[in-house]
Structure 1
């Protein structure tokens, strides 16, 4: 690495350390500073880099511009970590560092088998230990970041610009909640628009559902379909910001649709292989946590890094905040009144962590949104778009399972039962931004401790009617008839994200939106929150 690049890197590190002392409201940087990560850091042969951390571990996924010969290594301080190949061709690798110290900022460097640098060094910090008491924690969260430009989704450069604006607020972590890939294959409507469309077949080819994914022609199709939806969106901008990627329906290469011809979920074997391969190649799984059982479904797989979970995660920031992430698609059942979205063992873990008192704030982040409905089949709620063109529960929703709603109410009841917190759910899936308070859910009276619900905002929704619920489904998102809701911000169909600030006394939520119809792309660089909400812990 040249001496000039090293000097630039040290200057940037010093600037980052200085910014930690700046008041929270002044974290937003100017357009020039906001675009600096790519300008001051030499990515070398690295195309994209996404890390996650806990208090003692790091897991980093890396894509290279060409297959790497030999075994690349990651230096984490004095520790050397050997790379593990994520594909069969050596273009994608991951690095798993363990036994690290909590709350420490580590210097990292990536080298080839010949010892030569593959990119410029950088830094990454572990989270505080579970018994530490940090004063603040900042989270960037959004949903629906995927979309291939062949299908006219929001250009990846614009998505990256939105993310850079989010990064300008110096978050301690980022959550990308579901739908990182849009390439539906079987859904009657979604497949014609996405994976089976002529332009998609021309760009990526066709999957062979009877063949393995990695090590066959399917691997090439997967990389052509998924890679352009992930790699250019993130690049190396998040190299020093831990990320948490949760999967939802489209990450299994289908939409949640149910007809007499096909019911797309629970995911088929091939859908699981596509979802697992995409995660294995491009973004990190969830690191183990002492309070999350290692035996939960889709955890501790022998073909994964030790102890990680593919579908159920924990973001623990000392005794200040614990974020519970859960994919509702992978363990979904179709058992009528006893059906569930999350496996009973997962529900038990969620309830136990919700009731735990050692953490100031516990936040639920499911891939499916409590609070609102757009009449989709794979929702918590029975609402359906009726014959009169309005959402109703007076008409049956084909193939919807009443057990899903029962599980919803059990989880909501557990959140509201903890009187020393302001219950909060931040969810994904719906292409909208919203915030409200749940005052009743079925027979549950929640007025004494309402459950706050947020739609975090979509990053990559396709411009035009097909990208939004009101155009795609004939209705915008609305509160379910199962609920009494107080909406501070009704669902807004615009691109955006949410920044959440945690202190011991409260959570401050700042909602950001960008209107592609009325605002130029340059306006992204100075976006300010259009709505701020404070959730104070009860005395």
Structure 2
């Protein structure tokens, strides 16, 4: 393309966006369905672009192919938003638009300080207002999207292909639940496999834990370690689909491990700086919500966009659905019977929103999975891999805190107490796909209103044995002995994702999986759900 034609092309209006109304028979598409949305869009000098929205705000993270001179600007309709630098070199910027109208599709264009287009224009819509009553909402959700190819994780091109298949179903939003980066530094096992492995040091270098992250050599190491796990996976494919990125243990550059030599969580100061820098550069924080206190931990930081939270989020889609997202690692305590994963103020907020009646569906999305265990230290449950090679609660789990389980039961009790809903938790962390119903949790009898639990499916797990619980830990994921569980789909160790459809009467969950051992990569383009579940609201 000539420079003149390219300039004209970049300045052209964006193509008409896909309709928000999705046909009811979308999942009955033929095997010829395409899964490459936006393939002809010209990204110009943009390497990756990830937006999030609320009913009145947009926050967009952008990476460029080279440092941008001057101050880039984002045009949102008639509004002009100045860019803020996310790193110290001008390669990464974010744009924060406020005072927007609810449920409105805006034309967007990104220009340099000289007024020239940096990419082709596109469109992005805000969510409906909190008092609006949309008829439907579709969500794409998965976990464990990270992994550097130097460590033989699923190639980023294959991960992107899975995401494009998910995007072909035209979701209104996407949730990436934790583990966007795998680069463990201190965990006795994880570090040898990941951040301290010779190939990792050769590819990225070594962090200086006594130095600042941004503005030192650590910034270069961070970009070499984290960038290849995020940028090529998403590219610009989600430019018109709001995203919600939740952090978990590996996003702090360590696995949750506890031995007499090292206990990796709560996160150290340096771990926090790495997690904050990665988020600040690559993916958006959670926008403020009128029902979420601005003073929750790790919210309203002065070095962040106004009112955002780094660890606790809300996806509110009118009066139809409210998704509550919470990182269990950042506020974790080690206080024995009074220990918590989530700060008491956050627990109070979660309970209040769970009990609120103005929204048809309230869904919990924690970074740590209720329902199943693989015997890991940093789980809700006391189950541990025993001397006989089976999960048990008859042997102590070193450094595990009983207060974590108490908090689990308080949250589960709050969900089951709302009789007008089908309680639902969709979680991350475990490298598996599963769905079940929790009928008992400790002394809690949940049979009158069972809590539905889903493992959403991993995106980037290593194809070999070390990528799955059964190989890495010697046991697959299983229901905790603390629970009575009815499993519709027992945990499956394959790559995949979940699509959830919300209407006022019900939630329809569709689980997708792709088997790297038996299916070619091309099969991803026509994946169909292997299991469908309907959760109907009680009359």
TM-score calculated relative to the size of structure 1: 0.97
CA contact (8 A) 1:29 1:168 kept: no
How far is the alpha carbon of 1:40 from its aligned partner? 1.5
**TM superposition shift of 1:39:** 2.7
Partner of 2:511: 511
Query: Contact between 1:34 and 1:164, CA under 8 Å: does it hold in 2?
Result: no
In the TM superposition, what whole-angstrom CA distance separates every residue of 1:213-245 from its partner, at most 9, and x where no partner exists?
000000000000000000000000000000000
- Aligned counterpart, 1:391: 391
Pair 18,267 (structure 1): closer, same or farther in 2 beyond 3 Å:
closer
Q: In structure 2, what is the Cα distance between the partners aligned to 1:372 and 1:395?
A: 18
Q: Who is 1:253 aligned against?
A: 253
Q: For residues 333 and 63 of structure 1, do their structure 2 counterparts lie closer, same or farther at Cα, with a shift above 3 Å needed?
A: same
- Cross-structure match for 2:273: 273
Q: Do 1:142 and 1:458's aligned partners in 2 also have CA atoms closer than 8 Å?
A: yes
Name 2:178's counterpart in structure 1: 178
Distance verdict in 2 for CA 1:398–1:214, change over 3 Å = same
CA distance in 2, matches of 1:99, 1:477: 45
Name stretches of at least 5 consecutive residues in structure 2 with no aligned partner. Answer: none
Q: Deviations over 1:268-320 (max 9, x none)?
A: 00000000000000000000000000000000000000000000000000000
SS across alignment from 1:40: coil
Residues of 2 paired with 1:291 and 1:51: CA distance? 22
Q: Are the aligned partners of 1:27 and 1:170 in contact in 2 as well (CA < 8 Å)?
A: no
Indicate the residue corresponding to 2:334 in structure 1: 334
Q: Which moved more, 1:145-154 or 1:31-40?
A: 31-40
Is the contact made by 2:128 and 2:317 (CA closer than 8 Å) also made in structure 1? yes
- CA displacement 1:488-507 (0-9 Å, x = unmatched): 00000000000000000000
In structure 1, what is the Cα distance between the partners aligned to 2:13 and 2:328? 39
Report the 3-state secondary structure (helix = DSSP H, G, I; strand = E; otherwise coil) of the residue aligned with 1:499: strand
**Matching residue of 1:429:** 429
Q: Which aligned pairs between 1:8-47 and structure 2 lie closer than 5 A?
A: 19-26=19-26, 34-47=34-47
User: 1:501 and 1:13 mapped to 2: Cα distance?
Assistant: 31
Hey, what's the Cα distance between the residues in 2 that align with 1:207 and 1:31? 47
Which residue of structure 1 lines up, in the alignment, with residue 370 of structure 2? Answer: 370
Corresponding residue of 2:94? 94
1:422–1:9: structure 2 CA closer, same or farther, 3 Å change rule?
A: farther
SS of alignment partner, residue 380 of structure 2 = coil
User: Is the Cα contact below 8 Å between 1:8 and 1:40 reproduced in 2?
Assistant: no
User: C-alpha displacement at 1:172, in angstroms?
Assistant: 0.0
- CA-CA distance at 1:149 after TM superposition: 0.0
Q: Secondary structure at the match of 1:19?
A: coil
Once the two structures are superposed, what CA deviation does each residue of 1:25-79 show, in whole Å capped at 9, x if it has no partner? 2268778873543532000000000000000000000000000000000000000
Between the aligned partners of 2:140 and 2:304, the Cα distance in structure 1 is 27
Cα deviation, residue 23, structure 1: 1.4
Shift in Å, 1:24: 3.0
* Residues 21, 306 of structure 1: alpha-carbon distance in 2 compared, 3 angstrom cutoff: closer
Gapped runs of 5+ residues in structure 1? Answer: none
1:4 CA displacement = 11
After TM superposition, the structure 1 stretch with the greater mean CA deviation from structure 2, 1-10 or 242-251, is 1-10
Distance 1:428-1:8 versus aligned 2 partners, 3 A rule: farther
| CA distance 1:21–1:349, shift in 2 (3 Å) | closer
- Secondary structure of 1:285's match? coil
- Looking at structure 1, the residues matched to 9 and 50 of structure 2 have their Cα atoms a distance apart, in angstroms, of 19
Residues 274 and 59 (structure 1 numbering): CA distance in 2 closer, same or farther, change over 3 Å? same
Change (3 A) 1:17 1:282: closer
Task: Give CA deviations for 1:313-352 in whole Å, capped at 9, x if unaligned.
Answer: 0000000000000000000000000000000000000000
**Shift in Å, 1:14:** 9.6
Q: Secondary structure of the equivalent of 2:39?
A: helix
Cα deviation, residue 180, structure 1? 0.0
> What's the offset of the Cα at 1:249?
0.0
How far 1:5 sits from its partner (Å)? 8.6
Q: Distance in 1 between matches of 2:401 and 2:181?
A: 26
Q: Distance in 1 between matches of 2:401 and 2:239?
A: 41
- What is the match of residue 306 of structure 1? 306
Distance 1:402 1:425, change over 3 A: same
Q: CA deviation at 1:16?
A: 6.0
CA displacement at 1:420 relative to structure 2? 0.0
Contact 2:33 2:525 in 1 (8 A): no
Tell me what 2:167 maps to.
Answer: 167
What's the TM-score once normalised by structure 2's chain length? 0.97
Aligned counterparts of 1:12 and 1:308: Cα–Cα separation in 2: 33
Q: CA deviation at 1:3?
A: 12
Residues 244-281 of structure 1 deviation map (CA, whole Å, 9 limit, x = unaligned): 00000000000000000000000000000000000000
Change (3 A) 1:51 1:32: farther
Answer whether contact 1:30 1:525 (CA < 8 A) is retained.
no
Work out whether residues 212 and 218 of structure 1, in 8 Å CA contact, stay in contact via their aligned partners in 2: yes
